Amino acid sequence: NLTVGVLALQGGVVEHLNLLRKAAAHIQSSSPESLEGLELAFTEVRTTAQLTQCSALIIPGGESTTMAIVARRLGLLDPLREFVKVQHKPVWGTCAGLVMLAEQASATKQGGQELVGGLDVKVLRNRYGTQMQSFVAGLDLGFLGQGEEPFRAVFIRAPIVEEVNIAAEGGGCLEQGGKGPPVEVLAVYHGGEGQKQAGEGNGKGDIVAVRQGNVFGTSFHPELTNDVRIHVWWLRQVLDAARHGKLVVNGV
C-alpha cells in the first residue's frame, strides 16, 4: 500500500483528496504501468499514527497560524518535521501549507509562529492583501511540460517566497541536514491587469512555486480548480520515488 495523506487539521482537505483521486484515475488511464503493483490509498491525517502510515503528504491551504497551534496541541509538529526533514518523504504545501514548510516566515503582527520547515526559503505571508483581494491568474508552469495551457491559479491571502536558499544566513534545513539540494524556483507571477501590487518592486515578479528535493510548495490553490495537472505531476513523482525504492511502501 502506498498511502498519500492530507494533513486534516484545518483548511482545504476534501478538495485535495478529491483531486488526488482524480489524478490517480488520470494516471491509471494514461500510464497504468506506473501504478502496477502499487495499491494507492488517500487518507486524512490527524494523528502521529496516521502520519506514520503515509509515504507522502499534502499540507493544504487554510490558515497557517491556526494549523501550527493545532499541530502543536496534537503533538504533530515534531513528527511532521521528522517526516519532511529526516525521512525526506515527498511533501507538498499549498498556500498556508507552503508557509508551514518554509524555514522562515516574515514576522506577522502576532509576532511569528511555529513552522515545520523543510524549504530553505523565507515566505512573506498575505502578499496580496486580504480575502477581498483574492484573484485568479493564468500562470505558465514550465514544469508541467512544453506547450501546456496556462494554469488558472487561485490566490487567496497568498504567501510568496521572498528569499531562497537562506541556509547561509543560518537556520535553514541545509545546515541541519548537511548538503541538501538547492531550492528550485518553479513558477513566477508577473502580475496582470487589475493586479497592480503583484510583482511590483523588484521587476522580477513574485516566486509562487518552489521545490527543494522532496519538498514542493505553491502559493496558490490547485485544489480549488478542476485542473488536475499539478496533482498528476506531483503524484507521478511520488510513484517514481516508490518505484526507485526511495520511499517506504508497505510499511517497510
Name the site residues for ligand GLN (rule: CB under 6 A). 61-64, 95-96, 99, 125-126, 156-157, 159
Specify the residue, 96 or 174, whose C-beta has the smaller distance to ligand GLN: 96
Q: Is 63 annotated as a binding residue?
A: yes
Annotated catalytic residue 244: no
Residue 148: active-site member:
no
Q: Is 27 annotated as a binding residue?
A: no
Is 231 noted as a catalytic residue in this protein? no
What separation, in Å, do the N-terminal and C-terminal C-alpha atoms of the chain show?
A: 10
Instruction: Scan for cell 491525517, then name that residue.
Output: 45
Rounded Cα–Cα distance for residues 98 and 91 (Å)? 10
Residue (40 or 155) nearer to ligand GLN, CB: 155
| Phi, psi dihedral angles at 231 (to 5 degrees) | -65, -40
Q: What is the dihedral of CA 30, 33, 35, 37, to 10 degrees?
A: 160
Q: Is 62 annotated as a binding residue?
A: yes
Among residues 16, 162, 221, 231, which one is catalytic?
A: 221
Question: What one-letter code names the amino acid at 165?
Answer: N
The residue among 206 and 239 lying less far from ligand GLN, judged by its C-beta, is 206
Smallest distance, ligand GLN to C-beta of residue 20, A: 18
Catalytic residue among 15, 95, 103, 173: 95
Q: Is 156 annotated as a binding residue?
A: yes
H helix and E strand count, the chain: 7, 12
- Min dist CB 171 to ligand GLN, Å, is 19
Residue 156 Cβ vs ligand GLN, minimum distance, rounded to whole Å:
4
127 is in an annotated binding site: no
Of 177, 223, 189, give the one whose Cα is nearest residue 82: 177
**How near is the Cβ of 67 to ligand GLN at its closest, in Å?**
7
Give the span between the Cα atoms of 223 and 185, in whole angstroms: 21
CA distances from 247 to 90, 213, 238, 243 (A): 9, 13, 8, 8
Going by the annotation, the residues of the binding site for L-glutamine are 62-64, 125, 156-157
Going by the annotation, the residues of the binding site are 62-64, 125, 156-157
Active site residues: 95, 221, 223
